């Protein structure tokens, strides 16, 4: 569950992404220059990385911190390692 400060940041970014996707749809429909379309796709990918960053930070501050305090952090280490490799692709 996202705590309020990360939830609001993530939702704000996601709303921007929704608008950007609409913009790309319009560019494709209008048969615009490929580089313009690719530039917008790159912007969306960066915005999604921003959302991921907020969610990861939230996870670290909540679930992982609690597990470590309870000496059960080991379960999260592999989970975090796996997700970091997925996010870095």
pLDDT score for 44: 97
Q: What are the residues whose beta carbons fall under 8 Å from the beta carbon of 51, sequence distance 6 or more?
A: 10, 13, 14, 17
Give 32-87 pLDDT, tens digit per residue. Answer: 999 999 999 999 999 999 999 999 999 999 999 998 899 888 888 888 889 888 88
For residue 14, the domain's CATH number is 1.20.58.1000
In which domain, by residue range, is 82 found? Answer: 4-87
pLDDT score for 86: 87
The pTM for the full model equals 0.82
| Overall number of domains in the chain | 1
């Amino acid at each position: 569950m996202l705590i309020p400060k990360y939830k609001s940041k993530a939702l704000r970014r996601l709303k921007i992404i929704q608008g950007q996707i609409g913009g790309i749809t319009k560019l494709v429909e209008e048969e615009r220059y490929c580089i313009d379309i690719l530039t917008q796709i790159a912007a969306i990918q960066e915005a999604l990385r921003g959302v991921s960053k907020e969610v990861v930070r939230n996870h670290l501050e909540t679930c992982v911190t609690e597990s470590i305090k309870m000496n059960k952090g080991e379960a999260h280490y592999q989970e975090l390692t796996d997700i970091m490799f997925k996010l870095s692709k």
